Every structure is written in structure tokens, then in C-alpha cells.
Amino acid sequence: MDFVREIDAKMILIQYGWVDSDGGKHNDMAYFAEKYVLQMPDQLLESRLGVCWDQVELQRKLFSDIGVTTRSFFIVHYDEDKCPTHTFGIFEYDNKIFWYEHAWATMRGQHEYDNLKNAILDVRGKFIDDELNNKYNPQNLVIYEYDAPKKNLSCSEFYKHCEKGKQIQIDSL
């Protein structure tokens, strides 16, 4: 798919990190919960530094610009100390389902599936293996499908936005 190569050419410019509410750039996660601000696609293209939350919004725009609709998902493992998350985009093309990933370096690229359930199960399994190191409570692992967020949400506002989305019940897919 030529359009994916075009999107890759823009996404490759983006490094993993985040921009704080004062415009400071960070490569570590210290103070993320207190100072993070969601960047909109134009801001991310300018800063060239964003976490998956920012990058999925840029992907949403880039795919939309070429007429391909993406669906955005937020996976979170709720626990008392920290709540690891990942956002990811899925699109349909030629009767196939694709997970397009840039932020998660070891998963970067396009992954093809026969259906949405298999795509969600694959991302979930990789999140459990790689991000949670297989240490998790299945009842605390939740996936939401969410709509495009408003501009410049804080960390807690972004969580709340995603949690207002549709909770995915994998068995119902």
C-alpha cells in the first residue's frame, strides 16, 4: 500500500518523548502525569517529539487526509502504583484489518489481520508480554475505543476522555 509508505515518511520524523505544559521537551517519563499536554497533529509535526497518545492523533489525521478512516484504541492496566497505557490505531483496507504502529518501537510497522478481534487480541497480547512483563490482573486490563480528543488535554483529562469511549468486550467482537 503506497499510502502507508507516505505516512511512514512523515511518522519517521517523530521521536518518542513528550512536551510539557511549558513547552519543555522530555525523553524520560518523570513528571509526565503532572505536566503532560496532548499535542495536536500540527504541534507534533513541529515538535517532532510525542508519546503514543500524540502519535495516534497524527496518524488519525494523516490517514484521514487520504480518505482512510482509523479507529483509535486505549489499552490500560489499572493498578495502585502506575497505570501503563498504550494507544493504537486500526484501519480497514481491501477487506483486511491493519494495526499501524509507530510509537512502540519494537512493534513499529503495519500488522495485517483477518478481523478486528484478532487485531485487538494481538495488540493486547503484545502489551501484556512487552509492557506488563506478564505481571497483570486480567480484571484490571481494559481497552477503550475513543473518538478524537479536544486540543491540549492534560494526562488526567486524556484518561477521562478515553474512559468515556466504548469499552471493548473482546468476546463480543
* Sequence ranges of the domains in the chain: 2-172
Distance of CA 94 to the CA centre of its chain: 23
Are 55 and 127 in contact, with CB atoms under 8 Å apart?
no
Side-by-side strand order, sheet with 109-113? 109-113, 96-101, 85-93, 70-77, 141-146, 166-167
Q: In which band, very low, low, confident or very high, does the pLDDT at 80 lie, cut at 50, 70 and 90?
A: confident
- 21-38 pLDDT tens trace: 999 999 999 999 999 999
Fold type of domain 2-172: C8orf32 fold (3.10.620)
With vertex at residue 86, the alpha carbon angle to CA 84 and CA 89, rounded to the nearest 5 degrees, is 170
17 in helix, strand or coil? coil
What integer best gives the mean pLDDT of the chain? 96
> 173: pLDDT confidence band, cut at 50, 70 and 90?
confident
- Tell me the three cell numbers of residue 1: 500500500
DSSP conformation letters of 101-134: ESSSGGG-EEEEESSHHHHHHHHHHHIIIIISTT
Quick check: 17 pLDDT over 80? yes
pLDDT the model gives residue 78: 95
Distance CA 41, CA 152 (A): 11
Res. 110: pLDDT tops 80: yes
